[in-house]
Structure 1
Amino acid sequence: MMMLILGEPRFIKMLQMIIVAYIEKKTTIAERLRSAWCVVFFCRIWFTWIKLKTFDSTQSAENNTSKYFITRPAYLSVEINAHNLLYLILLVKQKQLPPHVLHVHTFNSQACESIFGNARALSGIYSTIINFTVHDFLRRVQRLSLLNDIKCKQLNDESVNNLVFPVHYKHRNDRQSLLTQSQTGIDQIEIEQVITDAYHKAIEMLDGLEILNLLEKNRVLGLKSLSE
């Protein structure tokens, strides 16, 4: 039913933008932000249209939402991930976090699960202790964080005394390009302009559908209205 309303190409385009925003390794930070917020505005416009549209007088608004919209967990995921990405960019621009925290493609479940294995490996090969407390885990994670910070910094450091960490040859170029991209581009990102562009892109994706006409009629199509 969702695809009948939006059309399959638009729905697929939205999924592609999610991949660009959170999964593709070489996406620029600005493009990640633009794609993430384009999906947010796309879903907000879609959701607002469902609330205004009269489908069946016998059905409640909640039933219409569940029938014609994505699931609530999926929508919350779209909103939370976009806001989290924006917050991380702001913290990096304010120099409160290092640039490599914006490698969001590493925020997947496999990478998170590997943290536990790496934390256990810090016990050493001669230790028989395989379990540890939450306090021990947090202490080990701090050591892993420091180690990863050193790894990221050494990629662009050409000094003779540079520490060299083993990196698989397939990932060496990707990691170098990602770090350079983050360091040189984040301070130049105009966040408000990127989000405005994302809003206009979402409007463009829905152009020609009844959705925009109904929102314009009710005066809720503006960027400010959709953000309230």
Structure 2
Amino acid sequence: GDFSVDIKDLIDLVESKSKLEHNLIKSDLNPKDRQNFASCLRISSETVLALLNRNENSKGTYVYLTLLNLIISGFINKSTAIEERLFNIWTVVFVCRLWFSWIQYLDVKNSNNNINSNNKNNNNINSNNNNNNNINNSQSPKKFKQRTFITKPAFWCIEINAHTLVYIILLVIKKKLPIDALNTFGFNSQICENTFRIARSLTGSFSSITNFSVKSFMKRCEKISVVNSIKSRGNQKGDYSFQFPQHHKNDKDTYDYSIDNIKELNLTEYDIEKIIYRAFESAQKLASMVNMSQLLKNKNIYSLPDLSQFIKTILSKSSSKIVDYTEDDDSNYDSDEDEFEDNEDSSVHAAFDDEDEMLPSIFGDDEEEEEGNIIANNLSNISQQNFRGCRIYDKINPQQMNKYFRIHVDSSVKYIHKQTACWLLSTSKTRLSSDRVERVKES
């Protein structure tokens, strides 16, 4: 539309707002670290989206990160209800379809180095390069259009997964699949990799054998299943409940194995249609927010039937082909397997273990006390008064005074724990990247 997706919007947010409001650090904005899922969670959080929505010039970034938030909620989060999961995923599908269709009608001209949307207003488009509103003369219009959209594999992935979810729901409704099949968060590769790592860790402490046969792997998976079953009943009240140890930095939802149990599915085919229509209406609102709607209306592709037919026609002409790799050489499998085993930090569960999460670490009463109580400067760039998850209080125990700083938030006086103050002042993290190539470069 009329707005660009620019990392500068997030940089301005980090520099202009307090970390207490957005929970971002500069290393979260590193575009080279593509496997940092914890940073994806932070930049697409509800607090960041709310701050971006206040800025009229950040609408493009806001819509793009909203799609990322909906994808995480629809595919990865365990606590999302199946109706909300379906709504979120299809909202992303329709926004991508509207975006893709809008790009097809862009009038790209190399002669004057301008991009004009083919409508009455001739709105300019900002490209995601250093020379906004300009096209490199050596760059063809087709390549430029490709750069103003997500990659084709990502687009296909969103479409395939959305249709697969509907198909799974229909099979569950017809009693051809168990209701546990709706736990879509268990379908991703991260869960499979995590299961394999846990199976390897079941080897004895004094054993150096890390490999095992298929039969041994199945036995270990049975043990993992029993442990997970015990964990799922761990919160039940009783005289003989198991209590598993949990690190204080880890999110409680990470180890709540009982939240993913779907007892009953009350959806019908008519309900699915209504949810998808609501998702299309939500996608239209996001498209109109960045001024895409007028061109799409002029081209008669703004309704659901017309848009679906247009996308079907375009995708049927795609040059993408299905390639049979069954006879390929297996010489590269060893390196891929090494990368698979070493990429532990990229799992979904490890994303919540990041030391820069909103909850600072909680130490016991025997924490070494420091002398002095410093009055900090006035934090005038903070608009909120309640800081859930941070140790910032209006009143504290006088005996614990040495563990806190006194700060001014606008006109009120609050007390911030020194550990929280260290977290607040940190601008980067010292952990290595989840990307293996980046880890080698950094080390």
Taking structure 1 as the reference length, the TM-score comes to 0.73
Q: Summarize deviations over 1:149-205 as a string: whole Å, max 9, x none.
A: 9789989xxxxxxxx9987784699433331xx223x23251111111111100011
Q: Which residue of structure 2 lines up, in the alignment, with residue 42 of structure 1?
A: 95
| CA–CA distance in structure 2, aligned partners of residues 66 and 31 of structure 1 | 31
Q: Which residue of structure 2 lines up, in the alignment, with residue 198 of structure 1?
A: 279
Q: CA deviation at 1:80?
A: 2.0
Q: CA deviation at 1:110?
A: 3.0
The answer to whether the 8 Å contact 2:91/2:282 transfers is: yes
Q: Which moved more, 1:115-124 or 1:53-62?
A: 115-124
SS in 2 for 1:219: coil
| CA–CA distance in structure 2, aligned partners of residues 175 and 124 of structure 1 | 25
Q: Summarize deviations over 1:72-127 as a string: whole Å, max 9, x none.
A: 222122212212222222222222222222222233433111333466689999x9
The answer to whether the 8 Å contact 1:100/1:152 transfers is: no
Aligned partner letter, 1:200: E
The answer to whether the 8 Å contact 1:51/1:61 transfers is: no
Aligned length: 221
Aligned partner letter, 1:87: Y
Q: CA deviation at 1:47?
A: 0.3
Pick the aligned partner of 1:51 from 94, 104, 108: 104
- Cα distance 1:165–1:85, how it changes in 2: closer, same or farther (>3 A)? farther
| CA–CA distance in structure 2, aligned partners of residues 36 and 139 of structure 1 | 33
The answer to whether the 8 Å contact 1:36/1:82 transfers is: yes
| CA–CA distance in structure 2, aligned partners of residues 145 and 226 of structure 1 | 46
The answer to which structure, 1 or 2, has the higher relative contact order (CA under 8 A, 6+ apart) is 1
**Unpaired segments of 5 or more residues in structure 1?**
156-163
SS in 2 for 1:54: strand
Identity between Structure 1 and Structure 2 (%): 33
| CA–CA distance in structure 2, aligned partners of residues 212 and 225 of structure 1 | 14
- Cα distance 1:168–1:83, how it changes in 2: closer, same or farther (>3 A)? farther
1:116 aligns with 2:118: no
Q: Which residue of structure 1 lines up, in the alignment, with residue 294 of structure 2?
A: 213
Q: Which moved more, 1:39-48 or 1:102-111?
A: 102-111
Pick the aligned partner of 1:89 from 169, 185, 188: 169
Q: Which residue of structure 2 lines up, in the alignment, with residue 159 of structure 1?
A: none
Q: CA deviation at 1:147?
A: 6.6
Q: CA deviation at 1:24?
A: 2.0
SS in 2 for 1:3: coil
SS in 2 for 1:177: coil
Q: Which residue of structure 2 lines up, in the alignment, with residue 27 of structure 1?
A: 80
- Cα distance 1:120–1:29, how it changes in 2: closer, same or farther (>3 A)? same
1:188 aligns with 2:190: no
1:62 aligns with 2:115: no
Name the structure where strand makes up a greater proportion of residues.
2
| CA–CA distance in structure 1, aligned partners of residues 163 and 293 of structure 2 | 24
Q: Which residue of structure 2 lines up, in the alignment, with residue 224 of structure 1?
A: 305
- Cα distance 1:88–1:150, how it changes in 2: closer, same or farther (>3 A)? farther
Aligned partner letter, 1:188: L
Q: CA deviation at 1:141?
A: 9.7
The answer to whether the 8 Å contact 2:92/2:283 transfers is: yes
- Cα distance 1:203–1:137, how it changes in 2: closer, same or farther (>3 A)? farther
Q: Which moved more, 1:42-51 or 1:9-18?
A: 9-18
**Unpaired segments of 5 or more residues in structure 2?**
7-57, 112-138, 235-240, 247-251, 313-443
SS in 2 for 1:84: helix
Pick the aligned partner of 1:74 from 137, 154, 173: 154
Give the alignment of 1:123-142 within 5 angstroms: 131=211
Q: Which of the pair has more CA radius of gyration?
A: 2
1:15 aligns with 2:17: no
The answer to whether the 8 Å contact 1:21/1:31 transfers is: yes
- Cα distance 1:217–1:89, how it changes in 2: closer, same or farther (>3 A)? same
SS in 2 for 1:97: coil
The answer to whether the 8 Å contact 2:74/2:88 transfers is: yes
- Cα distance 1:21–1:146, how it changes in 2: closer, same or farther (>3 A)? same
| CA–CA distance in structure 1, aligned partners of residues 275 and 220 of structure 2 | 34
